[in-house]
Amino acid sequence: MSEVINLRSHSKRGLASRIHGGQKRSSRLRGYENITYSSAELFEWMEKQTNFDCLFLNWINSGYDMMKTPSCDRIDDYKPYSFTNMRIVTWRENQKKSHRDRRNGINNISKKSVAQLTLDGELIGEYISIVSASKETGITRSGINMCCLGSVSSHKGFKWEYTNSEENKRKELPTKRRYLFNHDDPVRKSYLTRTSNT
């Protein structure tokens, strides 16, 4: 049975179906409208792309190397998936573009800007991300992150918080849930609920 599933997911239609499911999940997480095309329509669009057959063949010849998997890259990351806003690239190319755009400040969707405050609450500076704040101040990313999440009230003599009010509201939630692995059975996960008062 698993061989049938592998053959299906390694076919062109199976790949299109997998990409379609990923696009639906991604759109939902980003708060975009649901994609308007079906898996079959995505497959037809992929077949019309001049580089798809070559990328697909390279993926097969690589032994289905994940880095060489054909992938749909959004041309403009601030817009949802659509046939006019996509191109076919390898998974690796898609990842490289994403990292390069974030590093160059082109794509700041996933970045959360942070504010550096005195212990009295006076604003000292704002940064486009925790990474940027860490680079400019020399304070560790983990310390800044712990402040922003509300795990600690200050770090290295400063208070830190997200500049987005929605992120700060999340920090004030009464409980936090974390996944902990059950050491008796590493496959199963159990919840640990910790109140913010502890």
Do the domain assignments include residue 70?
yes
Contacts of 84 (CB under 8 A, 6+ apart): none
Do the domain assignments include residue 157?
yes
Do the domain assignments include residue 13?
yes
pTM for the complete prediction? 0.56
Tell me the CA distances in angstroms from 90 to 39, 169, 193, one per residue in order. 19, 38, 40
34 and 75 belong to one structural domain:
yes
Q: Tens digit of pLDDT per residue, the chain (198 long)?
A: 444 445 567 899 999 999 999 999 888 877 788 899 999 999 999 999 999 999 999 999 999 999 999 999 998 888 889 999 999 999 999 988 887 877 766 666 666 788 999 999 999 888 878 888 888 889 998 999 888 888 888 989 999 998 875 555 445 444 444 444 444 444 443 433 333 344
Predicted pLDDT at 76? 85
- CATH number, residue 142: 1.10.10.10
137 and 72 belong to one structural domain:
no
DSSP-derived secondary structure letter, 67 = G
Tally of domains within the chain:
2
Do the domain assignments include residue 137?
yes
User: How far is it, in rounded angstroms, from Cα 96 to Cα 98?
Assistant: 5
Predicted pLDDT at 127? 85
| 30: containing domain | 2-103
66 and 142 belong to one structural domain:
no
14 and 72 belong to one structural domain:
yes
80 and 143 belong to one structural domain:
no
